[in-house]
Amino acid sequence: MKLSRMLKAATAMVAVAGLGVAMAVPAGADPEHGDFHWEHGHISRTSTCTGTVASPGVLAGSYANVVVAGVCFVNGGAATIAGDLIIAPTGALNATFALNDMTGTGTSSLTVNHDVVVQRGGVLVMGCEPKFSECSDDTDPNGGVLTGQNTVHGDLFAYAPLGVVVHASTIGGTVFEQGGGGGVNCTPSGVFAAFGSPAYSDYEDNTIGGNLAVIGLQTCWLGSLRNTVGGSLVDIGNKMADPDAGEVLQNTVHGNIACFANSPAVQFGDSGAAPNVVGGFAFGQCGFNVMSPDPNYPNGDGTGGPQPISVKAA
């Protein structure tokens, strides 16, 4: 089951308990409170968002900088951060909502004007879309109709996170995830366990201005699907327990693509995706000459045939 559906179920349970619509912005996440720190030659205010799975903190309003030190949701309207968003080792941010669930009217969104940094063991789940990862507050029974609105104008850096899941979002700079994961297993762990899910990382249907790089991750499942990447895509040394993992496909890459030492190797699996389209060079498991079985090609009959992992852009 997709994590978004688990989050949706968990959110519903919180609402039934009387918490889902009564949560207020915690004092630590109020833009009028927080610590001062020195940033870019001037003093800037940092706000902290805390909460638990049963009673998440709510990130909404305008902030200078934010540290997520507990479980926080972006489901109370627009959250705009002028500086950086940091997910602490104890933190998990769920920005998979499209509506304002606190008031019942309007929409929710996350905008970060500088960088997002996910520290060791932290979790970021950002963005949602019909069919591939439904929004947590989408009630449509046929695969969803809502799409989240999430933008990071700077870079997204994740250093040994437990998991990073980004869908249908815009990243102006580079996405770089190195190390981390819940280990080469599919046993639910950390905050993922609260939703009955193993830890995993996934990037789908995003627009990324710079590079997309995932290196040295050890997890249950990893995918990079249907992204538009302005720079290069790098997928190196990732170890995954799910034999269907390693789906790095249907990305439009304006630079180069390089995939080495991944286990499982890059494959079509059951993704139903097309080959990557690459403007530059293609190396390793994503090379232009690498053919892989695809059960959906060419007729979608389950028997399929081989097709290339990557093709050269026209």
* 8 Å CB contact between 67 and 83: no
Positive/negative CA dihedral, 96, 252, 269, 265? negative
* Residue 220 pLDDT: 98
| Cα-based angle 165, 160, 237 (whole degrees, multiple of 5) | 85
* Residue 44 pLDDT: 62
Q: pLDDT at residue 137 above 80? A: yes
Residue 251: phi, psi to the nearest 5? -85, 140
* Residue 253 pLDDT: 98
Task: Please list, in sequence order, all residues whose beta carbon lies within 8 angstroms of the beta carbon of residue 175, skipping any fewer than 6 positions away.
Answer: 155, 156, 166, 203, 206, 208, 210, 211, 212, 213
Altogether, the residues listed in the chain come to a count of: 314
* Residue 302 pLDDT: 77
* Residue 38 pLDDT: 44
Residue 78: phi, psi to the nearest 5? -75, 135
Three-state SS at 58: strand
Mean pLDDT of the chain: 88
* Residue 116 pLDDT: 98
* Residue 43 pLDDT: 52
The whole-model pTM stands at 0.88
* Residue 14 pLDDT: 38
What average pLDDT does this structure show over 140-147?
A: 93
Task: Please list, in sequence order, all residues whose beta carbon lies within 8 angstroms of the beta carbon of residue 97, skipping any fewer than 6 positions away.
Answer: 73, 74, 75, 108, 128, 135, 136, 137, 148
When mean pLDDT is compared across 4-13, 205-214, 216-225, 304-313, the lowest value belongs to: 4-13
When mean pLDDT is compared across 9-18, 143-152, 293-302, the lowest value belongs to: 9-18
* Residue 249 pLDDT: 98
In the 8-state DSSP scheme, what is residue 194?
G
What average pLDDT does this structure show over 40-45?
A: 60
> pLDDT, tens digit, for every residue of 17-31?
333 322 223 333 333
Q: pLDDT at residue 9 above 70? A: no
* Residue 42 pLDDT: 52
What average pLDDT does this structure show over 58-79?
A: 97
What average pLDDT does this structure show over 189-216?
A: 96
> pLDDT, tens digit, for every residue of 250-307?
999 999 999 999 999 999 999 999 999 999 999 999 999 999 999 989 887 778 899 9
